[in-house]
Amino acid sequence: MPTNSGETVCVTGAGGFIASWLVKALLERGYTVKGTVRNPEDPKNSHLKTLDGADKRLILCKVDLNDFAAIRGAIDGCRGVFHTASPVTDDPEVMVEPAVNGTVNVVKAAADAGVRRVVFTSSIGTVYMDPNRGPDVVVDESCWSDLDFCKDTKNWYCYGKTVAEREAWATAKEGGVDLVVVNPVLVLGPLLQPTVNASIVHILKYLTGSAKTYANSIQAYVDVRDVALAHVLVYETPSASGRYICAESVLHRGDVVDILAKLFPEYPIPTKCSDEVNPRKKPYKFSNKKVKELGLNFIKTKQCIYDTVRCLQEKGHLPILSQANETQ
């Protein structure tokens, strides 16, 4: 049942993977949503218009995040802002300055509009990139990525997100904005948008045969539906503050391909690690206690992976081979 009828909020980058699920969740809870997109008529945003409640309570606004006036106009009349829009690339020219400028503009516009709370979608990339962290140290909300290490390793996505989050905090403090940050790990799960996003390629490559081996590396995972819910919970909980790591589990790539092979054996899933010399990388320890205390019960990563693949099949991004497999 709608619980927030009459309250208007803004979601930047509304057509994105996380943002689409966030818009869906907000509409289901009775909010009116002003979603910023580059082009409201672009077919890649058409899925938003089919969401329940979208016909009456979704307004798509044409906004470039470098245009302060456009952002300010979109935020006008909103009680809250969810800033999810961000480049996802390791090209420093495309990643760093746009991510930082867009974030600063959104927080400044929110301050100017007098919104109740801003929820910023950050990343685990702003948290765990620290070469000096010991293997037994638990990664929690107090951790920050080392900017020099990000630069030295040319991880411009993590660098850009870290600078953007730091600027968000500084700008919010200066403008008296109530800012809360969600730091998701690699996000999987079913897609609402028609196109495949960068994090889904992480799984898709193991199913199409394009990846012949898997890396000797680890990754933390979370379901997109949980990330969307985390945003809603930190917005709706008056006592919520600071950062919230949003992660279900950390898996080695070998664990991921094992799960895929058991669930979908009909696909050419790699069985060989690309690194047969070094010891198997061990998962890092993390804490998701803070977001769990808001009432979030995580979808298990195995279920998330299953739902991701099924969605890829349903949307035509992956051929359905199971029938042929079953008749052999």
d(CA 137, CA 323): 47
Distance CA 100, CA 113 (A): 20
**3 state DSSP class of 286:** strand
Residue 326, token pair as written in the block: 């079953």
- Partners of 193 in the β-ladder: none
Q: Using the structure block, give the residue that is written with the tokens 């919010």.
A: 172
User: φ and ψ at 221, to 5 degrees?
Assistant: -130, 155
| CA 5 from centroid of its chain's CA atoms | 26
Give the residue numbers marked as catalytic: 161
What is the number of other CB atoms lying within 10 angstroms of the CB of residue 111? 18
Residue holding tokens 């019960």?
A: 297
DSSP 262: H
For 153, half-sphere exposure in the C-beta direction (CA atoms, 13 angstrom radius) is 14
Query: Which among 15, 113, 12 is positioned nearest to 64, based on CA atoms?
Result: 12
